[in-house]
Structure 1
């Protein structure tokens, strides 16, 4: 979802509403996650996702798009691991 939002925000003439909807969708998906996760100090995906969004905003403002892409790679690996635990 972070990658999707990044792509939307970097395209010309995209509305901010689209980005906000993407972030909201990511939070709703995290809230609906059916099991606990163990990502860093977070036990619930619903707690991890807002922290990810805050960190993404911070890195984008500080270091620009390349830093955001790097963060997206790191976070996607953590989400993949959480999904593998759910599937088994």
Structure 2
């Protein structure tokens, strides 16, 4: 797959492309779904192939000190507000009873 061009992959989907533990691992890490194209998966493979050695023990992964909101969103909003940007976050959610 990596050695092919996107044009040669056409509109193939990755449904059935992998039936392995690797696929479960890859799909979980990169949010691939079975209906995504092979070309889409190839792009991710080409982008992150250098992480391959660190994937089995997760040393290739980078984690925030805090959660993503506190580590990224809040500092960006603070920066923008400090520079005169009017940031309006409209959040809507509903609480439903868990079954």
The structure with the larger Rg is: 2
Asked whether the two chains share a fold, i.e. TM above 0.5, the reply is no
- Using the size of structure 1 for normalisation, the TM-score is 0.30
Structure with larger RCO (C-alpha < 8 A, sep 6+): 1
- Using the size of structure 2 for normalisation, the TM-score is 0.28
